[in-house]
Amino acid sequence: MPIALRTLDDGAWISVNDSRQVSVSDVWTLSRGVFCDCKPAYVLLEAFLDVRINGSIVVAEAVGQCLECGTRDSIARLPVGKIVDGEFEPYNPEAVQSVLEPES
Ligand SMILES: [Zn+2]
């Protein structure tokens, strides 16, 4: 069964199969200086711009701001969860995440 992914409420939520699953108000911990020079960077998301699936991983495009240095930028590929047996399992925003490398 295909997974229905979309953003709702001007990017405030990611909806999976018509159910609001991921809120934009979380702080995500991003590792390795991909977003800014902070390691790790604590990034408060402002909006989800897009969402799509990459294999079994749900990947969002988002805009956020680093709470420490103030860098505000877009995040091209933020993994927010995965699909297991047709069900969405969200990742814990507080766990250190690696932003996926851009597609070359
Ligand atoms: Zn920073």
Please tell me the predicted confidence (pLDDT) of residue 88: 96
The CA 7 to ligand 1 mean position distance, Å, reads 26
Ligand 1 centroid from CA 67, angstroms: 7
Ligand 1 centre to CA of 23 (Å) is 21
Give the model's pLDDT for residue 2: 82
pLDDT value at residue 101? 52
Neighbours of 37 (CB within 10 A): 10
Asked if residues 48 and 60 have their Cβ atoms less than 8 Å apart, the reply is: yes
> How close is the Cα of 55 to the center of ligand 1, in Å?
30
Question: Distance, CA 25 to ligand 1 centroid (Å)?
Answer: 18
pTM for the complete prediction? 0.86
How far away, in angstroms, is 104 Cα from ligand 1 center? 25
Amino acid 104: pLDDT:
40
Mean pLDDT by 10 residues, the chain (104 residues): 91 96 92 81 95 94 95 92 94 74 47
Ligand 1 centroid to 32 CA: how many Å?
11
The CA-based dihedral angle spanning residues 23, 93, 31, 38, taken in that order and rounded to the nearest 10 degrees:
70
Rounded to 10 degrees, the C-alpha dihedral 30/32/37/41 comes to 20
